[in-house]
Structure 1
Amino acid sequence: MARDDKFASIIGSEQAEPANIVIFGASGDLSKRKLLPALAHMHRWNLLGPHSRIIGALRNNWTKSHWINYVHDQLLQYFPDAILNPRSWQRISHKLDLVNGDLADPEMYQRLAEALHEQGGKKNALFYLAIPPSWYECVAKNLKAAGLADEADGFRRIVVEKPFGMDLQSAQDLNQSLQHYFNESQIYRIDHYLGKESVQNLMVFRFANSVLEPLWNRNFIDHVQISVSETLGIGYRAGYYETSGALKDMIQSHLLQVLTLVAMEAPLTLDADDVRDEKMKVLRAIRRISVDQVKNIAVRAQYDAGNAGGVDIPAYRDEAGVAADSNTETFAAVKFHVDNWRWQGVPFLLRTGKALPDRVSEICIRFKAPPQTLFDLHDGNVLNNELIFRLQPDEGMLLSMTAKQPGLSTDLRAVQLDASYGMDGSGMPEAYETLFHDVLLGEAGLFSRADEVEESWRIVEPIMKAWAAEDASISTYTAGTMDIDGMQELMHDCEGDWRNLSAKHA
């Protein structure tokens, strides 16, 4: 099977209806690195409806030719295959259009309404808000005023990037604002982690196979570790990161969403609301934390100067745009409990950090030790029974078990069953391709509902308050290490130790 055919068989071949794909902030970093390449990939695999258009909504006073040249230059850097074939680039360039104007100017939205292309009697439109959150309400209000929230002549869907609020109150305010101008069914709150192939496969693995269902509970699982480790520092993102930190940036959104997929019950159907209802049950079952308990269940730290992934990294406080006395955490770990019948007493340990030894994202399901110890399971480097979902790199599943070493002794060793998701090294659809495709099809299962977002903020809010009230300077760790104060205490009452993220496939 040719690579293109194999890719098409994996991503699926359902073509979306023709649509006007409007990108607010079309000349920004997210657009050039993720959105434009994703749309070019989708065009290549014939997933965009015929005569669809990609409309940049720009404050720059660009001409259409300037916009086309800009897209060409970004694709040359981030997806050169799309433009090296002249016919392919010609087809993409014919889809490009733009509307200039200030985001606060109502006349710009009138021009946008006039620019929407009609195909088959419909003016379907997807509005992607690749702009700072402070502009979300303004854009939604003006779209509504221009009649662009009305679905009388085609669907209207608005995609909102994170951060969705910076705390519970701001998230509630933003939900109320967006729902004033658009129906909840029209709002797609994007979490690119849920677009990853390996994350989506969690539901298939859980509910399409019966072999592990009897084991997927408190009787056999000791604890769950969900980890995202990055070697990079904050780079150019100080302006955002100083107001966020690891807890808000990763745990409140991405990792709590992954937790719900691990812990949820089987939905009645794959309908978006059935799936999100089960995820909400998990979020509501997470044990509430009081501010005075935070020191026992959460750890934070900030990277100091060091070397991670072969790159010298300055101390966080020495990064451009970071305050000299900043207490923003670049590492966070939290122990949660899901108080329901299936998971009572099983800790869920979530950790994430920057400037760590390796770039690894994974879910570790660690099973309980056998009830009677006939062998020394902790001898040498023998692992407990673990099921690993690798999210990055080398997406796949890994089942680690214990076996006897060959020979006359009774020494033990770990053996592994490894199932990769890769396609002969050619890669898989990027998360933004999957999510774009789902929005165009009206599939909302991979997007957060309003109550999910608010419940996630409600869960982490006591941790935010406790850390904000701390007077002492934040503890530090050397970039490129996992030497973080307090991490081991979170493993109290858990079988074994933190999984070593530096050991590839181990």
Structure 2
Amino acid sequence: MQDSVDESVQTLIILGAQGDLTQRLLLPGLGTLVAADALGDLLLIGSGQGEGTDEQWQETVARAFADGGVSGPDVDTVVRNTRYVQADATDESDLRRLLARARGRVTLYFALPPAVVVGSCRTLERIGVPEDTRLVLEKPFGTDMADAVALNELLHALVPEEQVHRVDHFLGMTTVLNILGVRFANRVIEPLLSSEHVESVDILFEESLGLEGRAGFYDVTGALRDMVQSHLLQVLAMVAMEPPSTLDARDERDAKARILRATRVWRDDPERFSHRARYTAGAIEGRSMPAYVDEDGIDPERGTETLCEVVFAVHTWRWHGVPFRIRTGKAIGSPRQEIVFRFKAPQHVPTGLVGDLVENRLRIGLGSRHIGMDLNVNGPGDPYDVSPVTLATDYDPGELLEYGEVLRGVLSDEMPLSVRGDMSVESWRIVEPVLRAWNAGRVPLHHYRAGSIGAEITENREP
């Protein structure tokens, strides 16, 4: 199937159109993009194994776009023209029929479980895809390092690497993108971000949410695979990378890849520098939450963790000796979602300055749109009495939802918000020692009450 295509016309095919990802995140994000950006002639096709009519799908799309708070003639046109095709994503005849409905350049978005994605790609390998087809995959990309390598080979048999988008919606968050501006547009900050001045770096993403209906996915994935291996290692790469010459996809992704290649578990000791736990019954904001093992669809014998913490080392000149702690957890009562640079203490505080000195910290919010710097100042009372202050600012949300940013990158062939093939493999290489230690039972599975801070496993924060 190698016919020439009209570049002014695009078809976005969502495989798994009836799933939670599509309706809760993907479609609202697309709506913000349609309303804000000139996409030209875009045909949206939803596809799934379930029965459905064009009219029912149009209602679903319209409702999701409205949830994203968008309207206008471009939005109305996409809704009016969108179509639904019932199809098995692994069946040859169904995929041929689905691709025959496309116009212009095709983008296949796999909003499907990983095993189904592999089956679908194997079918596409047999029948071929239209010229210049883009393939868009969600995390987790594979289940381990060997699986990621094999999946890369399968994808590259279909299309070149530059037409593969391994999307990570974290990279589309304005709060994450703001790391670039804070680091590289402020001479007063960037020189301080090195082992000469930084004591440690924390990357925290804790949630008050529980499973929210995702037991089937989460119980075979867990916090380490779901959050650390994909999202938070990508954040670490942005936090630690050297300044790229440009924000062109190649320059930026090369800089991130160098950091991932240099990253491994602190002292190569996952038994000591990784922790795991899962929540027991509790309450959050007055809402009762059952224990993880009592949630519908959970197999208690799997030992799936809902909270994990790993300390990593980045073996570069800039970050030698600086521990990077990544921590993520569900059902946390006072969740934190931020990057925290903890600076070393002053070499010498002159005798005569009194008061309680706090750690100097730079905090960049991941969930909230907030940046703060914790400092020590003196005055206006006793001029020698020091007290802490925070220089802080909030900033407005971006024009697009996270998935709108992701889709804009995909549909305009901009690659910085997608993960390159070698980077996906490196991420698995980094966490596999932890997974081996856990699977062998060398790291105990702790417990914490839902609604607590999960503090039972954080007594030794610093290596």
Check whether TM > 0.5. Answer: yes
Tell me the C-alpha RMSD between the 2 structures: 2.4
Q: Residues 342 and 377 (structure 1 numbering): CA distance in 2 closer, same or farther, change over 3 Å?
A: farther
- The aligned runs of 1:82-101 (5 Å cut-off) are 82=71, 90-101=76-87
Partner of 1:251: 228
Partner of 1:42: 33
Partner of 1:79: 68
CA offset digits 1:153-199 (Å, max 9, x no partner): xxx21110111112112212211211122211111001111110121
- The aligned runs of 1:21-40 (5 Å cut-off) are 21-40=12-31
- The aligned runs of 1:98-247 (5 Å cut-off) are 98-117=84-103, 123-151=104-132, 156-247=133-224
Contact kept in structure 2, 1:298 and 1:490, CA below 8 Å: no
Using the TM superposition, give the Cα deviation of residue 215 of structure 1 relative to its aligned residue in structure 2, in angstroms: 1.3
User: Among 54, 62, 66, which residue is 1:64 paired with?
Assistant: 54
Partner of 2:314: 338
The alignment partner of 1:159 has SS state of: strand
Partner of 2:370: 396
Alpha-carbon distance in 2 for matches of 1:170, 1:96? 35
Q: Residues 473 and 387 (structure 1 numbering): CA distance in 2 closer, same or farther, change over 3 Å?
A: closer
Q: Residues 428 and 99 (structure 1 numbering): CA distance in 2 closer, same or farther, change over 3 Å?
A: same
Alpha-carbon distance in 2 for matches of 1:217, 1:18? 47
Alpha-carbon distance in 2 for matches of 1:194, 1:387? 20
Contact kept in structure 2, 1:476 and 1:484, CA below 8 Å: no
CA offset digits 1:116-155 (Å, max 9, x no partner): 22xxxxx11111000111122332244444442423xxxx
The alignment partner of 2:13 has SS state of: strand
Q: Residues 163 and 93 (structure 1 numbering): CA distance in 2 closer, same or farther, change over 3 Å?
A: same
Alpha-carbon distance in 2 for matches of 1:81, 1:331? 36
The alignment partner of 2:239 has SS state of: helix
- Does 2:402 align with 1:431? yes
- Does 2:359 align with 1:384? yes
Contact kept in structure 1, 2:358 and 2:374, CA below 8 Å: yes
Using the TM superposition, give the Cα deviation of residue 269 of structure 1 relative to its aligned residue in structure 2, in angstroms: 2.6
The alignment partner of 1:94 has SS state of: helix
User: Among 270, 286, 300, which residue is 2:263 paired with?
Assistant: 286
- Residues matched between the structures, number: 457
Contact kept in structure 2, 1:377 and 1:384, CA below 8 Å: no
Contact kept in structure 1, 2:353 and 2:384, CA below 8 Å: no
User: What amino acid sits opposite 1:26 in the alignment?
Assistant: A
The alignment partner of 1:52 has SS state of: strand
Alpha-carbon distance in 1 for matches of 2:394, 2:170? 18
Contact kept in structure 1, 2:332 and 2:454, CA below 8 Å: no
CA offset digits 1:77-114 (Å, max 9, x no partner): x33654xx7x6664232230232222222222222332
The alignment partner of 1:188 has SS state of: strand
The alignment partner of 1:341 has SS state of: coil
Contact kept in structure 1, 2:331 and 2:450, CA below 8 Å: yes
Partner of 1:8: none
Unaligned runs of 5+ in 1: 1-15, 118-122, 493-506
Unaligned runs of 5+ in 2: 1-6
CA offset digits 1:191-239 (Å, max 9, x no partner): 1111101211212222222222321211111111110010011231121
Partner of 2:393: 419
* Aligned-residue identity in percent: 36
| Greater mean deviation of Cα atoms: 195-204 or 466-475 | 466-475
- The aligned runs of 1:247-396 (5 Å cut-off) are 247-287=224-264, 293-374=269-350, 382-393=357-368, 395-396=369-370
Alpha-carbon distance in 1 for matches of 2:456, 2:135? 43
CA offset digits 1:46-81 (Å, max 9, x no partner): x142321111122233232232233334445x3365
User: What amino acid sits opposite 1:59 in the alignment?
Assistant: Q
Alpha-carbon distance in 2 for matches of 1:97, 1:377? 70
Contact kept in structure 1, 2:354 and 2:384, CA below 8 Å: no
User: What amino acid sits opposite 1:108 in the alignment?
Assistant: D
CA offset digits 1:311-368 (Å, max 9, x no partner): 2211111111122344211111111111111110111111110111234311001111
The alignment partner of 1:345 has SS state of: coil
- Does 2:27 align with 1:51? no
Flag the structure with higher strand content.
Answer: 2
Using the TM superposition, give the Cα deviation of residue 242 of structure 1 relative to its aligned residue in structure 2, in angstroms: 1.4
- Does 2:447 align with 1:476? yes
User: What amino acid sits opposite 2:362 in the alignment?
Assistant: L
Contact kept in structure 1, 2:179 and 2:239, CA below 8 Å: yes
The alignment partner of 2:112 has SS state of: coil
